A and B are shown apart, each in its own frame.
Chain A
């Protein structure tokens, strides 16, 4: 599904290397976690994979289903089944959430040569998905993410993921800013999307989220590369000993 080969990334308008020779594979049906200290390049990785233009790939490759995505813009990657749940979902004043959801679903349907959803069917799907995530109808009428609480924004990300049914989902610090109840709702939403033909990459600083979304694989990222890979037990180990050892190792 996702294969990153020896990736090197710098900021587009600065000579600052952020990712250095990172390699990573996430298979279909797998839930992988990337853990790492602040500043290790985790968020950059999620942006680069989804095609943000502030970065420049100076080496290596990113493949989805065996096909390099480096030449694709963010739109094409999204239409290829990539979904990023943003750490800080963007507020878009003036665009009602419902309008936005419809625009996104239709754009993806069009790109795949599928028929656009009829409004009643669309409404039905949104309502069902929203209900599961405890999102009320009022929120759907408000401008996207504007004035939403931290928890509401994260739930809105998961709602979009549920509607768009991506092949590969990257969750960037989805647990940040969530209280324990909201965390459970979000985790349940993610777990419901676990499927044999879907890969999920969970990026997190804390082990806490992984109590709710059990990963198959855990990678430790430091200084712009993966420094250790293991099973779920690795997360617990990190929780106990912190990142100190790995920060040293990578240097």
Chain B
């Protein structure tokens, strides 16, 4: 009995047709597309996509589109209103890097920036852009590799200490439904230090954003990554893959806020490819309505003395669906690995659902690894305590929810960004309280 031939969905057919129309492509793109075409869109029988059946959820594949002048003006306005604190902004609009919208004349010392399209022509960075062993068997990573239009390549010189935040802003214009495929690269040289802020932004529209961010954190380098994923509105979809490689003694911390966004899949593939690498992956997802957000991690400890911390929180309201899958793999040589993972979810409404799958895969014996996962509601004893001090129930709940959110946000070390995220969480919760008022 062979594998049953799957019938192509409309979305799959549209993606294949788009590929067929494209001019001759590089071999590595062809190979990536072949991987996608073979697997098709991931569905619930694919273990790592079990709770996000993209084959069913993605009805149509939207076409890509170059922005017109009105879209560029709209982008300028949105950029001006963007809350990200002081930062050097590198802007991608509708799939293309826009030096004209970016702070190209204010690049910090030790930072070189290029468009992906230019980098692809200029030198061979394919091996850097599609690192082996990171998401190799994921058809969405393959689709992105095949279809990527453009993106930003940021190189941070060895030893450079970049004080100013570098913001990767991915904008999608509104109007007619459309899609974009973006892949960016941040290559942090040995001993360098930097903070990358990644923001997705668009007016409410029907959009499909396929994003990949590739990070290489060199020996002894330190990189912090702070992201806000998800475009506003029920019609928005964002598939975001983060592919990170950590070399010896490297430190990489990532925090991601998911708030709003009809359908979000955020997947992180992290490879601790040198001894004594330290990884921290944290996040907060605030979901309501019929939103569906999936955070899936694959953490691969390949060498000894690695440390990894994963900490994710979800607040689910309405009929939202939250998914957290965290796989920590410790290979045979990765002795003395120290791994701890925690996933906590508060389910506030009858129609909401949370799916948790913390996973350990361990082949080395001298390790300390653990995970904890909880799903539940606010603690009634805490609510009673606050009520007994005079707080009305709704206020007590709001206070506890805010605390729950802030404990995750506290992992952001940049005070301005932390305040922005905390403010956003507060507004999200306030809207919840307002909506519940009779």
Direct contact of A and B (CB under 8 A): yes
Residues of A with Cβ closer than 8 Å to B?
50-53, 73-75, 77-79, 83-84, 86, 89-90, 92-95, 99-100, 103-104, 107-108, 111, 143, 160, 164
Tell me the complex Cα distance, A163–B387, Å.
Answer: 16
Tell me the complex Cα distance, A249–B3, Å.
Answer: 80
What 5 A-B pairs come out closest when comparing CB atoms? A94-B403, A74-B387, A104-B389, A108-B390, A78-B390
User: Can you report 28 A-B residue pairs in the complex whose CB atoms are below 8 A from each other?
Assistant: A50-B388, A52-B384, A53-B380, A53-B384, A73-B387, A73-B393, A74-B388, A75-B392, A75-B393, A78-B388, A78-B389, A78-B390, A90-B382, A90-B385, A92-B403, A94-B404, A94-B407, A95-B400, A100-B386, A103-B399, A104-B390, A104-B391, A107-B389, A107-B390, A107-B391, A107-B395, A111-B390, A164-B390
- Is B381 close to A, CB under 8 A? yes
Interface centre among B382, B388, B395 (most CB of A within 10 A): B388
In the assembled complex, the CB of A153 is this many whole angstroms from the nearest CB of chain B, namely: 12
Instruction: Give B189-229 interface residues, CB cut-off 8 Å to A.
Output: none
Return chain B residues, CB-CB under 8 Å to A103: 386, 391, 395, 399
Residue of B nearest to A75 (CB): B387
Convert B364-402 into 0s and 1s, putting 1 for each residue whose CB lies closer than 8 angstroms to a CB of A: 000000000000000111101111111111011001101
Tell me the complex Cα distance, A100–B392, Å.
Answer: 13
> Of A52, A78, A86, A93, which one neighbours B407 at CB under 8 angstroms?
A93
Tell me the complex Cα distance, A94–B400, Å.
Answer: 8
B interface residues, tally (CB under 8 Å) = 23
Return chain A residues, CB-CB under 8 Å to B400: 92, 94-95
- Is B9 close to A, CB under 8 A? no
Return chain A residues, CB-CB under 8 Å to B392: 75, 107
In the assembled complex, the CB of B346 is this many whole angstroms from the nearest CB of chain A, namely: 12
CB atoms of B406 and A92 under 8 A apart: no
Tell me the complex Cα distance, A111–B382, Å.
Answer: 20
In the assembled complex, the CB of B1 is this many whole angstroms from the nearest CB of chain A, namely: 53
In the assembled complex, the CB of B213 is this many whole angstroms from the nearest CB of chain A, namely: 30
In the assembled complex, the CB of A101 is this many whole angstroms from the nearest CB of chain B, namely: 9
Return chain A residues, CB-CB under 8 Å to B386: 92, 100, 103-104
Return chain A residues, CB-CB under 8 Å to B382: 90, 92
Interface centre among B380, B390, B393, B404 (most CB of A within 10 A): B390
> Of A52, A94, A143, A160, which one neighbours B389 at CB under 8 angstroms?
A160
Tell me the complex Cα distance, A16–B39, Å.
Answer: 60
Return chain A residues, CB-CB under 8 Å to B388: 50-51, 74, 77-78, 83-84, 86
CB atoms of A86 and B389 under 8 A apart: no
In the assembled complex, the CB of A125 is this many whole angstroms from the nearest CB of chain B, namely: 15
Return chain B residues, CB-CB under 8 Å to A75: 387, 390-393, 396
New A-B pairs, 14, CB < 8 Å, besides A50-B388, A78-B389, A90-B385: A53-B380, A53-B384, A75-B387, A77-B388, A78-B388, A79-B390, A90-B384, A92-B385, A93-B407, A94-B402, A100-B386, A100-B389, A104-B390, A143-B403
Residue of A nearest to B398 (CB): A103
Return chain A residues, CB-CB under 8 Å to B385: 86, 89-90, 92
Return chain A residues, CB-CB under 8 Å to B393: 73, 75
Given contacts A90-B381, A92-B382, A93-B407, contact A51 B391 (CB under 8 A): no
CB atoms of B389 and A95 under 8 A apart: no
Return chain B residues, CB-CB under 8 Å to A83: 388
Return chain B residues, CB-CB under 8 Å to A99: 399
Interface centre among A78, A84, A99 (most CB of B within 10 A): A78
Tell me the complex Cα distance, A61–B366, Å.
Answer: 63
In the assembled complex, the CB of B428 is this many whole angstroms from the nearest CB of chain A, namely: 16
In the assembled complex, the CB of B437 is this many whole angstroms from the nearest CB of chain A, namely: 16
